[in-house]
Amino acid sequence: MNTALLLIEIQNDYFPGGRIPLEKSLEVSAKTQTVLNAYREKKFPVIHIPHISTHPNANSLLPCTKGAEIYAEMTPLKNETVIKKHYPNSFKDTTLLNHLIKNQINHLVICGMMTHLAIDATVRAAYDLGFSITVLHDACATRQLEFNHTTVPAQTVHLAFLAALQPTYAAILSTEDFLQKIGARIPVTVVPA
C-alpha cells in the first residue's frame, strides 16, 4: 500500500491569536508534528493542503495574510507537495487527485483542522474516489458550533463527525496507535514534577 500524509488547513488563523482559534489547536499541532516527523524519517510523501478563502464574505484564511500561512511547525520542506484549495473538499478544483494517481498513492493518512468541514469533506470525497483512509483523531481539531440557538461544544462536534466517518469512510486511530502500526519511534512524554 502506497501512503501519503495529508496535512489539511494547519494554518495560523486556527491557532491562538488567529482569527478563529480552534479548541486544542496547540495539542493537535504537537501530535501532528510527531506523525510528520515519522513520515519525513521514512521518506513517505507529505502533502500540505492550505485553504485560501475566496468567498467575498470570508473573514479568515484570506489571501496574502499571515493567518493564511501554514503554521510554522508544519512548514513544508522543499520535497513536500503544497496544494492550495478554496473549498472544504481538498479534491474540488485542485490537482490533488492527479497528484495521488501519478504517484500511485492509494492510502491517505489525514491530520488537520476543522473536523466538521475540511476533514469530513475530504475524507468522504477520498472514499468515493476509491482511497483507503486513516484519520488521526487526536491530530484534528474543530470549534464549537451553534444550531437553533443551541451551542454544541467543540469536543461534541469533533466526536460526532468522527463517529459518522467510522467505520465506513475511514479508520479512526490515535497518533500513538498509528505510529506503532507503522513502526515509528514514539516520543516520550515528560510530565513536569
Complete DSSP assignment for 39-83: HHHHT--EEEE-B---STT--SS-TTSGGGSBPGGGPPPTTSEE-
The secondary structure of residue 87, as a DSSP letter, is S
For residues 5-19, b (16+ Cβ closer than 10 Å) or e, as one string? bbbbbbbbbbbeebe
Q: How far is CA 85 from CA 8, 92, 171, in A?
A: 10, 8, 24
Mean pLDDT throughout 70-96? 97
**Domains with residue ranges and CATH for the chain:** 3-144+157-181 (3.40.50.850)
Prediction pTM value: 0.93
pLDDT in tens, 150-189: 999 999 999 999 999 999 999 999 999 999 998 876 665 4
The pLDDT tens digits for 125-144 are 999 999 999 999 999 999 99
Radius of gyration of the chain (CA): 16
Are residues 145 and 157 in contact, defined by beta-carbon separation less than 8 angstroms? yes
Q: How confident is the model at residue 193 (pLDDT cuts 50, 70, 90)?
A: very low
For residues 43 and 105, give the distance between their C-alpha atoms in angstroms, rounded to a whole number: 14
Task: Work out the number of other CB atoms within 10 angstroms of the CB of residue 27.
Answer: 12
Query: How far is it, in rounded angstroms, from Cα 173 to Cα 170?
Result: 9
Mean pLDDT of the chain: 94
The pLDDT score that the predictor gives to residue 191 is 42
